[in-house]
Amino acid sequence: MTLVTLKDVLQPALQNGHAVGGLVCLGWEDMRAYVRAAEAENAPVILQAGPGCREHTPLPVLGKMFRHLAEEASVPVVAHLDHGYTFEECQMALDSGFTSLMYDGSRKPLNQNIDETAKIAELAHAANISCEGEIGFVGYADGEASAGTDPEEAAKFAEDTGVDAMAISVGNVHLQQDKAGGLDVDRIKAIDDMTNVPLVIHGGSGVPVEQRTMLAKTTSICKFNIGTELRMAFGSALREAVNKDAERFDRVSILKESQDPVMQAAQTVIRAFGAPPQRKG
């Protein structure tokens, strides 16, 4: 069994200058493809159940799915709750076998965010699993605007919450379909100088691949959340499979054709993070 915590994969990344992919899952087909991609690259992977995933599939079911994949995998697999918004949701994820809880209080005032995130961190650490928090709101393409992370507030947040990883807002946005933008490197370095916790970039699909690699090597950014570009790969493969045979209706045969394209897209994502090969045995 290779089920591990977020801390288990991010601390080596922090020490060795690479990053780990937090790959956003929506169903069995993509999460299985992500694990196969990680195995092909001999690298760890973080399977993430965000709000959209949880709306479709209950947390107890997702926990079993993640753990089953981890039990069969040859590389470290993290079962991660992404954007948990309540204590109850985080408790349910813990009870469902997740090994990492991300509490998102980024829309709330600083002190409230710190207090609530600290409670989730305490809950997680009492169960020997990990906690990620977020300071500075990460907005959405064509939606809510971001509120950039203040380095001094980030330092206080990291110290007072005891999180194992800290998501920051430095020009990144969720659901961005192109890579035309880039991150605010000066702000990242300022946060880096004032903290020693692994940093996380949500909305990583909008970050140019070369910048992902550079930041993984030269800063404390150890985790990039990647969802949109992998969903685009899945959607493209599914559309092609459906359109090439108008008479076909069996969902299993159609979905099967998404596996290789999504696996290949995930391999490309994982490879850019520069993780050294996992030791065997």
Within-domain flag for 245: no
With 80 as the cut, is the pLDDT of residue 196 above it? yes
Query: How far is Cα 34 from Cα 40, in angstroms, rounded to an integer?
Result: 10
What residues have CB less than 8 Å from 11, skipping those under 6 apart? 198
Position 48 in a domain:
yes
pLDDT band at residue 175 under the 50/70/90 scheme: low
Q: What percent of the chain has pLDDT over 70?
A: 92
Residue-wise pLDDT for 8-19, tens only, equals 999 999 999 999
Tell me how many helices (H) and strands (E) the chain has: 12, 9
Assign residue 82 a region: left if phi > 0, alpha if psi is -120 to 50, beta otherwise? beta
Amino acid identity of residue 21, one-letter, is G
CATH (domain of 152)? 3.20.20.70
For 97-134, the pLDDT digits (tens) are: 999 999 999 999 999 999 999 999 999 999 999 999 99
With respect to residue 241, please indicate whether it lies within any of the assigned structural domains. no
Q: Which SS3 state, helix, strand or coil, does residue 220 take?
A: coil
For residue 94, being part of any structural domain is answered with yes
Q: Which amino acid is at 64?
A: K
pLDDT band at 203 (very low <50, low <70, confident <90, very high): confident
Burial (CB count within 10 angstroms: exposed 0-12, middle 13-18, buried 19+), residue 139 = middle
CA 274 → CA 150, 165, 178, 270, distances in Å? 28, 19, 22, 8
Instruction: Kindly state whether residue 253 falls inside one of the protein's structural domains.
Output: no
Q: Given a cut of 90, is residue 268 above it in pLDDT?
A: yes
Q: Which two tokens stand for residue 188?
A: 């990242």
Q: Is residue 277 part of a domain?
A: no
Catalytic residue set? 82
- Give per-residue pLDDT as tens, 14-72: 999 999 999 999 999 999 999 999 999 999 999 999 999 999 999 999 999 999 999 99
User: Per the structure, how many domains does the chain have?
Assistant: 1
Is residue 171 in some structural domain? Answer: yes
Domain region containing 26:
3-227+259-271
Q: Does the pLDDT at position 275 exceed 80?
A: no
Residue 233 domain-assigned?
A: no
CA 237 to mean position of chain CA atoms: 22
Q: Is the pLDDT of residue 142 over 80?
A: no
Q: What is the pLDDT of residue 176?
A: 56
